[in-house]
Each structure stands twice: as structure tokens, then as C-alpha cells.
Amino acid sequence: MKKKRILLIYYVLFNPGGVARVMTNLANELVEQGHEVEILLLTSKTEAFYSLNKNIKIHTADMFSHWAWGICEFNVKRLKFIPKIQNINSYISHIGVYLLLKNWLLKHHQNYGTIISCWYKISSFLGTFKDIAAKTIAWEHTDYNVGGWLYNKKLRKFYKNLKGIVCINTPSVQYYKHFSRTFFIPNIIGEPFESKNFIPSESKENVISFVGRLDKGKNVGELLEIFEQSNLPKDWILQIIGDGVERNNLEKYVKDKGLEENVCFLGSKNIDEISRLLDKSKIFVSTSLKEGLPTVLVEAMFCSNTLIAYDCNYGPSDIINEKNGFLIPLGDKQMFREKLKYLITNEDIYNSMNKSSYEESQKWKKGKILEKWAEIL
């Protein structure tokens, strides 16, 4: 493949999160293939939470220093009594992002053969700049219904000007194929997961794992209800890896229900720590209300975990099948409890699914994914 100079655009890298992680993985892999890769961030902070190849140059266009953000801060302090002031501020801040991007890219876009936008709002804006749009790939990481009236009804139509659209779940492919060339390309998992060997159950502990932000969307409160009501053997532990705004409420629930001995909150962990924790785990669970493509499910498969997850929009149904776990109708706590207990109390079934889950993970190795990226680049 001909080597290119590629620009990826996102708003931040210093927080742990799915998009930052998979963007870092892709950037590192593209550099390894000989491409020249740069990143534009919409903040002044250039630190990366995940390990970034030292040859990747980072640029910044700080949206928080733009005059539009100053108006938002004034509104919060002085006009907070106005109904829906937060919605008004959201639109004002988006104007600032649009103007920042336009100014920066008009000066620099000639330096790049391909631009990859990692946020649907950025992709929508870039679609309005025809010369820039023609070399821009929209990399969609979330539910295509997000964005409300402005993005769905007014700006999404400019996707027709883009070079292409990369989706991480099949429903999104069906939606976006009406706008431009559309590709289904799963996220790169990479190390420390892809090189793992199968871990049999006798080398694991009686641990159920959750990894993710502790917020309303991840729905961990419902997971705690399911765990409490499942009447599992006393030697089984639920480990919750991650942090977020709901942590205090969740810890209070655990204390009120007397679950301290069986539920542990481990906080945020780096990727190597998560890998080691999942190696010890037997079952991985997710009660998310919405996803793009939950990469952590695939990571858990590489670590020889059997999966149980809600069939939310979108992503789990692209990963979970009858070989590697159970896909539960969204909100069906009773079925979730039944499948969890079924796995734990039927050792032969668990061992079979555990092995199959690891075997399924091999389909998600980065080689095939990078071939698909080479096609669109």
C-alpha cells in the first residue's frame, strides 16, 4: 500500500475511554505500516492516557479558548435561570468548534492525503467543506441516532460529500450506506490481548467482571440488582473496574445490601492491569443501555471469559452468539439472573463456552481489520 500522510481528529486523549483507546491503537498501527500520522485535538492538553507512538505528532485547536466557550461560561454564571440554557450553550459551543476546525483545516489540510474524523459532530462539520470532505473518512463510534435535530436532520446530509464512512456495527452500515461508501470495520484490539493463550477454568478464580464507566448509560445499578438477586454461591465475586459519576451511589447500594464481601470496586485501571484482572475472571457481564461496539467484550474473549450482556443498540449482537455467551433482551433481569446462575452451576457447559469464547476471539485479530483499513485508505 502506498504510504500516506494521515490526520486523525478527536477532542481529547488524556481520559480513559473507548474512542481514545481504539484511535490510539489505529494510529500506532498505521505508523508501524510506514504511514506518517498526526492527530488534531480540540483541547490544549496533549497528554495521552494510552501509549502513543513517539513518532505521532499532536496538534491542538483549543475549543475552550474560543470566544464561543467564553459566552457559554457567561451564560452559566449569569443566565442560568433561562430555560434550556444548557441546550443553548451546546449549540454555541458547536459553533466555536466549527469555526476552529474551519480555520485550522483551511490552513493545513493540504498537508494530508487522508483525514479521519473520530466524532460524528466533527464529521458533520467537515462534510460542509467540499475540498476537505473529499479526503475525509467519518469513523462512527456510536449510535447513529445521536445528535438530535441539528445533526440528524440538517448536517448529516453532508456525509454525502465524504470519501467514506467506517462503522463498527452492522445496523450503522445499513443506515450510512445511503450517504456514502460505507465499510464495516471492527475496532483493533491489539496487545496485551491478541497474543494470549487459552486460560482454562482451573487457572481462574470465581470472579465475574465488569469494565467501563460508572454512569447511567452503563447501567451498573441494574447489574448490582441482578447480582444480589441471583443467589450465587458465596465464593463468587463481582469485580467492577472503572470509575465515574455513579460510583458513590453504587457503593452505597452495595453497603446497604450487605454485599461488601462479594462486590469490589477497583477504580480505573490501565490496560495491562485490566488484562491481568480479566485473566483471572471467568464471566464478563454488561448491562449497558447503549453501545457502539463494546470492544471490552472482545477483550474479555481473548482473556477466556464467557459473555453475558444486554442486547442493546448497538454492537453486542455483532459479538455474542450461542458459542461464546448469552445475549439478553434489554431489561430482562430475570433471564440475566437465570443465565448467570446456569453458567455458574453447570461446570461442563461453562468449560465448553469458555473454550469457544477464546476460539471466537481469534476472528477479531488486527490483521484482517488492518486489511480493511488499507482498502479504504
Q: Inform me whether the pLDDT recorded for 207 exceeds 80.
A: yes
Q: Which of 10-14, 117-121, 136-140 has the lowest mean pLDDT?
A: 10-14
Q: What is the pTM of this model?
A: 0.83
Q: Which CATH superfamily is domain 5-190+366-376 in?
A: Glycogen Phosphorylase B; (3.40.50.2000)
| 226: enclosing H helix or E strand | helix 220-229
Domain boundaries 201-364, corresponding CATH code? 3.40.50.2000
Query: How far is residue 257 from each of residues 35, 243, 357, measured CA to CA in Å?
Result: 54, 20, 33
- Dist. CA 218–CA 18, nearest whole Å: 13
Q: Inform me whether the pLDDT recorded for 96 exceeds 90.
A: no
Q: Inform me whether the pLDDT recorded for 22 exceeds 70.
A: yes
Percent of the chain topping pLDDT 90? 71
Q: Inform me whether the pLDDT recorded for 14 exceeds 70.
A: no
pLDDT grade for 1, boundaries at 50, 70 and 90: low
Is 5-190+366-376's fold the same as 201-364's? yes
Q: Inform me whether the pLDDT recorded for 72 exceeds 90.
A: no
Q: Which of 101, 138, 140, 103 is nearest to 123 (CA)?
A: 138
pLDDT grade for 132, boundaries at 50, 70 and 90: very high
- Dist. CA 164–CA 137, nearest whole Å: 5
Report domain extents, the chain. 5-190+366-376, 201-364
